[in-house]
Amino acid sequence: MEVLLRIRLDIRIIDVTNFKYPGAKYRIYLNDFMLTERFYPEDLIKNEQLEENIFLNLENKKYEINIENLTNNRIFITDVAVDNSISRDINDFTYSFEIK
């Protein structure tokens, strides 16, 4: 089944002297399959979030999204939408969902 997976991301700043400095690099995995590797945009203002939109053909089973942080600043998941099913305020590096 083809679904639209939308993942909203935010960043935890470790070095508070530099807000969203270049080099906050991360990877997104779905069940150990890497979907993307990116740098968090340095031009987002404080109350903006990044949203990844990915169309996927998924089977009826359980899935886990994982964020691998490659720098000191930590990218984390805030919200996930799978088609019309939305989960908010996750604020973690992992999230699980099931396609039925």
Q: What is the pLDDT of residues 76-97, one digit of tens each?
A: 999 999 998 999 999 999 999 9
Lookup: tokens for 53? 């939109």
More confident residue, 46 or 87: 87
pLDDT tens figures, 3-36:
999 999 998 776 656 555 556 899 999 999 999 9
Q: Are 75 and 24 in contact (CB under 8 A)?
A: yes
Q: Quick check: 63 pLDDT over 90?
A: yes
**How is the chain split into domains, by residue range?**
2-98
Q: What is the pLDDT of residue 49?
A: 86
d(CA 92, CA 74): 10
Task: State whether residue 10 is helix, strand or coil.
Answer: strand
Q: What is the pLDDT of residue 82?
A: 96
pLDDT averaged over every residue in the chain: 89
29-62 burial code (b ≥16 CB/10 A, e <16): bbeeeeeeeeebeeeeeeeeebebeeeeeeeeee
The sign of the torsion formed by the CA atoms of 34, 66, 68, 78 equals positive
In the chain, % of residues over pLDDT 70: 90
